[in-house]
Structure 1
Amino acid sequence: MRLSISHKTYSSWSLRPWLLMKQLGIAFEEHMVLFGDEPAWQAYRQQVPSGKVPALHTPEGLVWDSMGITEYLAERFEGVWPDAPAARAWARCAAAEMHSGFGTLRTQCSMNTLRTFEMKAIDAALQKDLDRLQALWGEGLQRFGGPFLAGDRFTAVDAFFAPVAFRLKAYQLPVQPEVQAYAERLLALPAVQEWVQAARSEPTDPPHEEACTGWANPVSP
């Protein structure tokens, strides 16, 4: 299988299936399409009509969108979702909520795996997303016993929230201690550290850097 992704500094959607497959030991070839390389994107759109990343090229054909990829993998590999029915149902709902929600958090706090920022202000809309995030993570950790969101092992729901862990760190967002501790556990995973190390060798993409300046002040490179 071949997984098409983009910048490891910025591409939150790319991180989700990449991390899931790495953590579960699912073999794949990585195909990088960098932002700003228009000829490469034109060629990519010939293979992936949506023109978006991630996309998984499989023996059965193209599988696109992070949720579509996750469900494809779940049909073929063990461990993608929790085994227990209650935990599995909760994990799917939480991942779906991340997939379609938290719009303000996404807009004001674009993922950046290498830099830190200071928020100019946390408005009511962003605080609402943070409150919901804390309630959701707190529910999963308490209900299923941790250290991951749906139990004692990493599953797809953790992969879906990994970009949020980067956002909490990059923008120094105030959250409850148990929420912060969970985010730090995600960031400490060897696969996540591998992602960060690879990001350090990528070319920067100024439009993505500038997207942060409306909401936050850069603190460190």
Structure 2
Amino acid sequence: MELIIGTKRWSTWSLRPWLALKKTGAAFTETEVELRQGDTTKSAIAPHSPSGLVPVLKDGELTVWDSLAICEYLAERYPEARLWPADPAARALARSAAAEMHAGFASLRGECPMALDQEPRPHDVSEATQSDLRRIVAMWNQMLERFGGPFLAGEWSIADAFYTPVATRLRTYGLHASDYGDTGRAGEYMQRLLQDPDFLAWEAAARA
């Protein structure tokens, strides 16, 4: 199995399925493509991806593209890893949270890109990004309260993979969950994501 990813410093979409794949315990190789290199990047991705984008998962003759599709495939391929919660309600809400991140929060993503090579610094954000942050913090608080933590739907799931890059953004740009309606749980959850051993391995490689 091979996972083709973008530059680890920047590629949030690559980080998400990489975390899910690590949680399965399956052996895999990774191929990292340097992003932001114009035609050189396009040429490097082209042999792997029908969409011209990363990430891409290759499993034998099967090629799966798009981060959420890869995560769904891994959940079915490795049911013992329990990448989605067993409880139907928890699973439905975890999927909802992941899908909302996958499709939304464009202002936050555009204004505060993941930059694991940058040291944290205060950053003023637009009202649109503040609105995104209020929604994210409210969702985190609600799910953590409902399911009791330590992760959004109880045990770690794909939903947490999708919000790990958000935690890095908050840290990098000096944004505090307490400024956006946190009742305490969201800030603790953010730190939990940033201390996950698999994320720390990704971050160490990104900064190497």
TM-score by length of 1: 0.86
Q: Which amino acid aligns with 1:178?
A: R
Q: Distance in 2 between matches of 1:96 and 1:37?
A: 29
Q: Which amino acid aligns with 2:26?
A: I
Q: What SS does structure 2 have at the residue aligned with 1:50? A: coil
* 2:186 maps to 1:179: yes
Match of 1:170 in 2: 172
Of 149, 154, 157, the match for 1:155: 157
Q: Distance in 2 between matches of 1:113 and 1:34?
A: 15
Q: Which amino acid aligns with 1:118?
A: P
Q: What SS does structure 1 have at the residue aligned with 2:50? A: coil
| Alignment deviations for residues 34-89 of structure 1 (CA, whole Å, 9 cap, x no partner) | 12274463142133121111000112411000011011111111211001000000
* 2:190 maps to 1:188: no
Match of 1:2 in 2: 2
* 2:118 maps to 1:117: no
Q: Distance in 2 between matches of 1:10 and 1:117?
A: 17
1:33-182 matched pairs, under 5 angstroms:
33-35=33-35, 36=37, 38-39=39-40, 41-78=42-79, 79-115=82-118, 116-119=120-123, 121-151=124-154, 153-175=155-177, 176=182, 177-182=184-189
After TM superposition, give the deviation of residue 133 of structure 1 in Å: 0.3
After TM superposition, give the deviation of residue 117 of structure 1 in Å: 2.8
After TM superposition, give the deviation of residue 27 of structure 1 in Å: 2.2
Q: Distance in 1 between matches of 2:26 and 2:85?
A: 17
Q: Which amino acid aligns with 1:158?
A: D
Q: Distance in 2 between matches of 1:23 and 1:170?
A: 25
After TM superposition, give the deviation of residue 114 of structure 1 in Å: 2.7
Q: Distance in 1 between matches of 2:103 and 2:41?
A: 28
Q: Distance in 2 between matches of 1:200 and 1:106?
A: 21
* 2:31 maps to 1:31: yes
Q: Which amino acid aligns with 2:156?
A: F
Assess if the C-alpha contact under 8 Å between 1:105 and 1:126 holds in 2: yes
Match of 1:11 in 2: 11
RMSD between superposed Cα atoms in Å: 1.4
Q: Distance in 2 between matches of 1:63 and 1:15?
A: 15
* 2:203 maps to 1:200: no
Assess if the C-alpha contact under 8 Å between 1:23 and 1:154 holds in 2: no
Structure 2 gap ranges (5+): none
| Alignment deviations for residues 108-167 of structure 1 (CA, whole Å, 9 cap, x no partner) | 110012312321x2322111101100111111101111000000x211000011100100
Q: How many residues get paired?
A: 199
Q: What SS does structure 1 have at the residue aligned with 2:71? A: helix
Q: Distance in 1 between matches of 2:146 and 2:26?
A: 28
Assess if the C-alpha contact under 8 Å between 2:55 and 2:67 holds in 1: yes
